[in-house]
Amino acid sequence: MELVKDYPLSKRFPELPLLSAANTKKHSDLIPFAFGHPAQESFDVPLLSQSAVSALQLDGPRALQYSGGSGPDFVLNWIQQRSKHVSISVETQNILVTAGSMQAIDLATRTLTDPGDHVWVEAPTFFGAIRQFSLAELKISSIPVDHNGLLTDELENKLKEAVKNNVPIPKFIYVMPNYHNPTGVCLSIDRRKKLAELAYEYNFYVLEDDAYVELSFSGKKLPSIYTFGPKRVIYLSTFSKTIAPGIRMGWALADDEQIILRMKMLKSDGSTSVFVQEIISHFLSDVKFDYHMKRINELYCTRKDAMISAVKECFGKEVTYTEPEGGFFLWLSFPEKVNTSEFAGDALARGVSFIESKYFYIDGAETNHIRLSFTFTNEEEIKKGVQRIAESYYRYKKSIEVLNEV
């Protein structure tokens, strides 16, 4: 049979840049600082294995059915209790378990907005979130971040200006308050309060993505933005960094049950794998979670220290950074005229990957930073990887100096 015409697919797909690190598998001895993978050593494989057997042997038929057994309720209760650590008090019907926190971002976005609506993000911000907002056909603007997180004064000015000029204010602002991706900084208490106040005053939501909250080297936790303005915050978190990403489990919570019900309606994968929830309920019931996190954070802190030592040794005063107190990432800033995309390919060829800053800005505005993940590789690899970056960088620097002399 012959096809008569082309078929027009949906107009919703933006032209998205491919991450250069998508090619990372090609080098045989690659040191991957690019992606935010947890350390393999962080997975409690024996306990997960035992949990899987328990879930199936104790209540297999229910665990495998559409709605599951008691596991999903157990998981909800656990999240409810754990949320108290960031001063959140919430009923279980206000919590939705999702297949990872990216799904929570997607569902919250499509619950709050229609195509053409405005949304504001931090600059820099997580590229995965930018992608979701683009797919939702939103207009995206950004507000800068400093070492204390989102600049709420600048936010307030921008809101005032929008109102003055009769320009749409955002339906929501997407913020990562703890160990921000990519910069690693935390939003100060004062700014958390200020942000919640602005949300109430100007009537926008805050999408509070708290994926890294448990990754605190000191064990210290600040109260969430939600605490200060529950009626205009949707709070998200995940088990990806604490138990394992492969289980695909995160959650969203909101004070307004209508939001949770609508997110559930959009959730076309049904209840997030009840089979996995049954397994995770056994895991959570048996693990000593605080001890489990302490072990992981000690490992990550050591790796972070190793990375900072290597950076000092290889780069001296050539770069700047805010030393992270948790999370997964070190954000290295080179002199302003540097374009890190110009040596990312050479670095990859030498066997090290990182993500260039342009991917973290909606307009690719700042090009002189790179994001390095310190969690997945060991101390020896970290040292070697940073050396490889330095080789690439200094070679690039020399080449532009030569160009400038010409």
Q: Does 320 bind a copy of itself (CB under 8 A)?
A: no
Type of residue found at 32? P
Stretch that binds a copy of itself, among 86-94, 140-148, 262-270, 391-399 (CB under 8 A): 262-270
Least distance from C-beta 385 to a copy of itself, angstroms?
19
Q: Which of 22, 265, 349, 365 binds a copy of itself (CB under 8 A)?
A: 265
Between CA 184 and CA 329 the distance in angstroms is 6
- In the region spanning residues 10 to 39, those forming contacts with a copy of itself, defined by CB under 8 A, are 10-13, 16, 35, 37-38
Stretch that binds a copy of itself, among 42-50, 142-150, 302-310, 345-353 (CB under 8 A): 42-50
| Alpha carbon of residue 99 to chain centroid | 14
Cβ distance to a copy of itself smaller for residue 110 or 304: 110
The single-letter DSSP state of residue 36 is -
Per-residue x/- mask for a copy of itself, residues 231 to 260, rule CB under 8 A?
xx-------x---xxxxx---------xx-
Q: Does 352 bind a copy of itself (CB under 8 A)?
A: no
Q: Does 197 bind a copy of itself (CB under 8 A)?
A: yes
Asked if residues 155 and 189 have their Cβ atoms less than 8 Å apart, the reply is no
The single-letter DSSP state of residue 289 is H
Q: Which of 63, 195, 233, 253 binds a copy of itself (CB under 8 A)?
A: 63
Q: Does 163 bind a copy of itself (CB under 8 A)?
A: no
- In the region spanning residues 103 to 122, those forming contacts with a copy of itself, defined by CB under 8 A, are 103, 105-107, 110-115
Cβ distance to a copy of itself smaller for residue 20 or 98: 98
- Complete edge-to-edge strand list for the sheet that includes strand 118-123: 95-98, 250-254, 233-238, 205-209, 172-175, 118-123, 139-146, 149-150
Least distance from C-beta 400 to a copy of itself, angstroms?
35
Say if strands 31-32 and 95-98 run parallel, antiparallel, or are unpaired. Answer: unpaired
Q: Could you count the other beta carbons within 10 Å of the beta carbon of residue 116?
A: 10
Cβ distance to a copy of itself smaller for residue 68 or 184: 68
Largest Cα span, the chain:
75
Between CA 306 and CA 304 the distance in angstroms is 5
Going by C-beta distance under 8 Å and a sequence separation of 6 or more, which residues neighbour residue 312? none
Q: Which of 174, 205, 235, 331 binds a copy of itself (CB under 8 A)?
A: 205
> Hey, which residues does 253 pair with through a beta bridge?
95, 235
Between CA 342 and CA 236 the distance in angstroms is 35
DSSP 135-158: HTT-EEEEEEEETTEE-HHHHHHH
> Hey, which residues does 314 pair with through a beta bridge?
none
Cβ distance to a copy of itself smaller for residue 78 or 202: 202
Stretch that binds a copy of itself, among 193-201, 295-303, 332-340, 353-361 (CB under 8 A): 193-201
Least distance from C-beta 264 to a copy of itself, angstroms?
11
Q: Does 5 bind a copy of itself (CB under 8 A)?
A: yes
DSSP 155-209: HHHHHHHHHHTTPPPPSEEEE--SS-TTT-----HHHHHHHHHHHHHHT-EEEEE
Q: Does 201 bind a copy of itself (CB under 8 A)?
A: yes
Q: How many residues bind a copy of itself (CB under 8 A)?
A: 79
Q: Which of 145, 159, 274, 362 binds a copy of itself (CB under 8 A)?
A: 274
Q: Does 100 bind a copy of itself (CB under 8 A)?
A: yes
Measure CA of the first residue to CA of the last residue in the chain; give whole Å: 62
Q: Does 275 bind a copy of itself (CB under 8 A)?
A: yes
Stretch that binds a copy of itself, among 46-54, 175-183, 212-220, 358-366 (CB under 8 A): 46-54
- In the region spanning residues 115 to 154, those forming contacts with a copy of itself, defined by CB under 8 A, are 115, 131-132, 135
Going by C-beta distance under 8 Å and a sequence separation of 6 or more, which residues neighbour residue 296? 38, 39, 42, 215, 242
Among 173, 178, 152, CA closest to 86: 178
Least distance from C-beta 383 to a copy of itself, angstroms?
22
Least distance from C-beta 275 to a copy of itself, angstroms?
4
Between CA 173 and CA 254 the distance in angstroms is 15
Least distance from C-beta 99 to a copy of itself, angstroms?
3
The single-letter DSSP state of residue 377 is S
Q: Does 49 bind a copy of itself (CB under 8 A)?
A: yes
Whether the upstream peptide bond of residue 324 has omega within 30° of 0, thus cis, is no
Least distance from C-beta 393 to a copy of itself, angstroms?
28
